[in-house]
Amino acid sequence: MQHVSMQVVIHTPQRLLFAGQAEHLYAVAENGSFGLLPNHSDFVTALQPSVLIVREPGPKELFFAVDEGLLVKQNEQVKIAVRRGLYGENLDSLNQALAQTFAELDEDERKARSAMSRLEASVVRRFAELGRPL
């Protein structure tokens, strides 16, 4: 039996990014980029941070920026689990979403580093107080 589409599910630990039919899928694995069609043989591969492209039935393509993850192709099912992922209507909107996300991550990391520095300074002060005679 020839399949004309495959069921694709893309999710992160926090949420479902996509669930629907696809005629073609483009992804990047550790050993290079590849395309999947509905009748492709079953396999499992580790994904690299990249842009994953899903072509729905018809001309519409969906773009996802994905972090490392795992892709499992079994029969007409493709399940993709990634650490982080973003959706964009096109490559430009995906690029803008990535820039915004990275800016937010940078700010969160800056706040975390600042809090860690304060915590470390507090621990050092307390150790210094322990060493003083009563």
pTM over 0.85: no
- Which residue is it, tokens 């005629």? 23
The tokens describing 28, both together, are: 């990047």
How far, in Å, CA of 2 to CA of 7, rounded? 14
**Has residue 124 been placed in a domain?**
yes
Amino acid identity for residue 28 in this structure: V
Q: Is 34 exposed, middle or buried (0-12, 13-18, 19+ CB in 10 A)?
A: middle
Provide the mean pLDDT of the chain.
86
Residues 65 and 48 both lie in one domain: yes
Range of the domain at 54: 6-88
**Has residue 1 been placed in a domain?**
no
Residues 24 and 64 both lie in one domain: yes
38-68 residue pLDDT tens:
999 999 999 998 899 999 988 889 999 888 8
Residues 84 and 42 both lie in one domain: yes
